[in-house]
Structure 1
């Protein structure tokens, strides 16, 4: 059934309003079951939660959007080292496809990562997704760090909250242009912006 999914890579400026509306609905349905707060950023036609991706891999099947992965190139600080990465995030798979191995199709992004000439792809996920990421990592050189904190700014400044937040999430690193041994050490990663 995974072969029925067709993938489209598109830059953010290539998306039409109808694409954003369809993606926003996809994210509300995908993230909503994990808590109403998680679906809230996708109200109306907003198809991103924090930082806006610059490139998207969108999987479609006969029922519409089946999966999504966003990419944003940025400099992060790992400990004291500034490092260019392609942050991967805004990941989702439609509930009826979760157990069919569709996450492996996200590899459609790998040739693009190589073309972008970034040393690493980086992302974070909740600890509850550890087994899912471990399965994904069996098929490629993904390294998972569980003892590194990540600091991000809030997507929008608020009077009732501090401007930054620190998360204890799993950090995922995929070597692209450099070996994993070149990944710097540090107890905290600063995104210098909102999470993707």
Structure 2
């Protein structure tokens, strides 16, 4: 079944309005069942929730968008160390394909990560996805870190909320240009912007 998914790597400025509309619908369908608020950022043709990705890996099959992974290069601060990374996020797999190994096809983005020459790719996931992400990590060099908090800004400033939020999420790290031994220690990761 995985071989029927074809991957398209595209920079954000290569997407047409129809692509954004299709992706927004995909995200509403996969994030909506986890809570109505989770689908809210994807109203209309908006195909991102927080920070806008600069590169996307989009998996297609005969049913349309099957999977998605967004990528954004940025500097984060781990403890006291500034670190260039490629943040991976906006991950999703259509529910009818979840147990068919589609997540392993996200490796489609690995060659571009190597081209971008970032030392690490990193992302955060909800603790509820721990088993899923650990399965993905067993098939590659990804490391899952717990006990690390993430601080990010809200996508838009609001009068009724603080400008930053702190999450207790699982941190995933994929060494690209350096080894995992070079990942700095620290109990807090500052994005200095909204999460992807």
- 1:1-196 correspondence to structure 2 within 5 Å: 1-196=1-196
Deviations 1:30-70 (A, max 9, x none): 00000000000000000000000000000000010000000
The whole-number CA distance in structure 2 between the counterparts of 1:70 and 1:119 is 18
Deviations 1:71-106 (A, max 9, x none): 000000000000000000000000000000100000
Give the TM-score of the pair, scaled to structure 2.
1.00
What is the number of equivalent residue pairs in this alignment? 196
Deviates more, 1:68-77 or 1:136-145: 136-145
The whole-number CA distance in structure 2 between the counterparts of 1:128 and 1:28 is 19
Following TM superposition, the consecutive aligned residue runs of length 4 or more in structure 1 with deviations greater than 3 angstroms are none
Structure 2 unaligned segments of length 5 or more: list them. none
Give the superposition deviation at 1:28: 0.0
The whole-number CA distance in structure 1 between the counterparts of 2:15 and 2:148 is 34
The whole-number CA distance in structure 1 between the counterparts of 2:144 and 2:104 is 17
Give the superposition deviation at 1:195: 0.4
The whole-number CA distance in structure 2 between the counterparts of 1:140 and 1:64 is 27
Structure 1 unaligned segments of length 5 or more: list them. none
Deviations 1:153-178 (A, max 9, x none): 00000000000000000000000000
The whole-number CA distance in structure 2 between the counterparts of 1:142 and 1:191 is 20
Give the TM-score of the pair, scaled to structure 1.
1.00
